[in-house]
């Protein structure tokens, strides 16, 4: 990366970071981080999904209100680069993860309090809800950015895709378990019961997070070297400009934004498309969403093999899986175009949607692995990463692009489909135009991904071995959720 005048002087890979001298996290450590991610997902799904339903159904408020509150929690995640920069200054991620979870848990409970308050004083309740949802965004930014950075700097390069798959599957499990268990205790609904359930979930999330992170990062001391002291003196915008000056970081930011817009643009229109064009009932469209999520899980597990060797054959690099997943996603979307325009209702829609979910899951896990690789830097002779010292700032920049792209894509897809229906008068043609535009955007994202540096998944063959322990297999129970949050 090109260094500015205020940037630190280069140092050897061996002295670059604590993780450069310590073996990578084993599978137990990765699973502990996955547990934190599951707790984060549990609080988020209760806040963004369950409270959404309570506002609209029990309180009979306009659906626009929870929509704006969820949009606010995404907008606040523009602070992710600043959160990552703050963690870079101390080179310790655990305090930021725990602190972020504390803010998230408190804000999640306050959001429930605000929702209950709306039944008595709508103005005061909405004001508190706005503050609470902003706090949720801040908590997700601090905890999620630092957790990903910790993975990038402590997980061995050969494990990145598998580690990302495990952690994200655990997050989805957190969505499903929290939604199912909390849903049981919320019936029959009362405002006090809502606050009690939300408070219980928040306390459990914070306690489990602290236990999971206990001494996880203590294998190496914080950075204490001339480079780190120079970085401590560097201001945030100078650090951000330094990261943005790197063509790889800049290109990857654009890729993340474009791919997330393409990924999420169908989020709000797939079920209406199935109902209007294929005549699916509400129950059938809900099950179709489950088929999509099942495909996503399958794709995630498949992409976990990126960089692995089976019977002497390499199963593809992170970049190859990212590019292939984007292209496959575009092809699946074109299948929806063809099926909706020419073959409804005989088109195998369920199989098409499953393949789209699998392609989405594969590219997303490979992209997260690539994000970790680009944040951590190239592989050193010892098999660990030679870090730039701006891992958190980089990860925060990409996390912000991801959050804004995901939020904007969902709204853009819904608005575009409404406008197209108004102009054409044909639901099938309107949805086909939106799906085709998404497919083109996925091709653009694939082209951007092809220009990224292909980080090696394993160190050079002549590099000294690093003790990493045994690779543990993990089993996943399929689950689905309508909320897809990526901290």
Could you report the per-residue pLDDT of 118-167, keeping only the tens digit for each? 999 999 999 999 999 999 999 999 999 999 888 888 887 777 778 888 88
Checking if the pLDDT of 199 tops 60, the result is yes
More confident residue, 322 or 53: 322
At residue 155, φ and ψ (nearest 5 deg) are -90, 130
Checking if the pLDDT of 2 tops 70, the result is no
Return the domain boundaries, the chain: 20-217+226-450
Q: How far apart are CA 413 and CA 465, in angstroms?
A: 49
Q: How far apart are CA 276 and CA 358, in angstroms?
A: 24
Render pLDDT for 64-90 as a digit per residue (tens, 0 to 9).
Answer: 888 889 889 999 999 999 998 888 887
Task: List the one residue out of 440, 434, 405 whose CA is nearest residue 273.
Answer: 434
Helix%, strand%, coil% for the chain, nearest 5 = 75, 0, 25
What b/e sequence results for 265-301 when a residue is b if at least 16 CB atoms lie within 10 Å of its CB, and e otherwise?
Answer: bbbbbbbbbbbbbbebeeeebeebbbbbbbbbbbbbb
Q: What pLDDT does 18 receive?
A: 36
CATH of domain 20-217+226-450: 1.20.1250.20
Q: What pLDDT does 470 receive?
A: 29
In this prediction, residues 406-416 reach a mean pLDDT of 87
In this prediction, residues 300-328 reach a mean pLDDT of 79
Handedness of CA 369, 375, 378, 380 (dihedral sign): negative
Checking if the pLDDT of 6 tops 90, the result is no
Checking if the pLDDT of 363 tops 80, the result is yes
In this prediction, residues 259-277 reach a mean pLDDT of 89
Per the CB < 8 A criterion, the answer to whether 4 and 245 are in contact is yes
Q: How many CB atoms lie within 10 A of CB 230?
A: 14
Checking if the pLDDT of 476 tops 50, the result is no
Q: How many CB atoms lie within 10 A of CB 241?
A: 14
pLDDT band at 393 (very low <50, low <70, confident <90, very high): confident
């Amino acid at each position: 990366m090109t260094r500015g005048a205020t940037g630190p002087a280069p140092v050897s890979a061996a002295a670059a970071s604590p993780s450069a001298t310590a073996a990578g996290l084993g599978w137990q450590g990765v699973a502990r981080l996955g547990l934190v991610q599951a707790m984060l997902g549990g609080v988020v799904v209760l806040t963004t999904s369950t409270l959404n339903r309570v506002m609209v159904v029990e309180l009979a408020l306009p659906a626009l209100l929870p929509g704006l509150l969820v949009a606010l929690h995404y907008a606040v995640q523009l602070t992710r680069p600043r959160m990552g920069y703050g963690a870079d200054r101390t080179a310790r991620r655990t305090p930021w993860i725990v602190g972020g979870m504390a803010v998230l848990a408190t804000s999640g409970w306050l959001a429930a309090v605000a929702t209950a308050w709306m039944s008595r004083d709508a103005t005061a309740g909405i004001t508190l809800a706005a503050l609470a949802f902003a706090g949720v965004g801040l908590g997700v930014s601090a905890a999620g950015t630092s957790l990903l950075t910790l993975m990038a700097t402590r997980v061995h390069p050969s494990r990145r895709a598998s580690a990302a798959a495990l952690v994200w599957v655990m997050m989805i499990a957190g969505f499903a378990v929290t939604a199912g268990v909390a849903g049981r205790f919320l019936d029959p609904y009362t405002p006090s019961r809502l606050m009690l359930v939300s408070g219980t979930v928040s306390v459990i999330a914070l306690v489990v997070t602290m236990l999971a992170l206990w001494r996880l990062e203590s294998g190496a001391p914080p950075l204490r070297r001339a480079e780190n002291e120079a970085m401590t003196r560097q201001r945030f915008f100078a650090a951000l400009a330094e990261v943005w000056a790197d063509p790889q970081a800049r290109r990857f930011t654009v890729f993340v934004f474009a791919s997330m817009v393409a990924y999420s643009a169908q989020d709000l229109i797939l079920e209406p498309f199935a109902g209007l064009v294929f005549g699916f009932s509400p129950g059938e469209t809900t099950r179709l969403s489950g088929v999509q999520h099942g495909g996503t899980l399958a794709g995630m597990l498949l992409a976990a093999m990126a960089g692995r060797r089976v019977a002497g054959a390499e199963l593809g690099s992170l970049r190859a899986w990212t590019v292939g997943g984007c292209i496959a996603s575009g092809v699946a979307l074109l299948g929806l175009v063809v099926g909706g325009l020419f073959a409804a209702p005989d088109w195998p829609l369920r199989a098409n949607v499953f393949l789209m979910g699998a392609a989405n899951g594969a590219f997303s896990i490979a992209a997260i692995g690539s994000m970790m690789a680009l944040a951590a830097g190239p592989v050193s002779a010892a098999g660990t990463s030679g870090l730039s010292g701006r891992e958190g700032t980089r990860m925060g920049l990409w996390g912000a692009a991801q959050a804004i792209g995901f939020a904007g894509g969902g709204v853009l897809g819904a608005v575009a489909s409404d406008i197209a229906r108004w102009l054409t008068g044909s639901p099938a043609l309107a949805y086909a135009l939106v799906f085709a535009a998404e497919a083109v955007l996925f091709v653009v994202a694939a082209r951007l991904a092809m220009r990224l540096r292909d980080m090696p998944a394993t160190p050079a063959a002549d590099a000294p071995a690093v003790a990493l322990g045994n690779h543990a297999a993990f089993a996943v129970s399929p689950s689905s959720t309508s909320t897809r949050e990526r901290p």
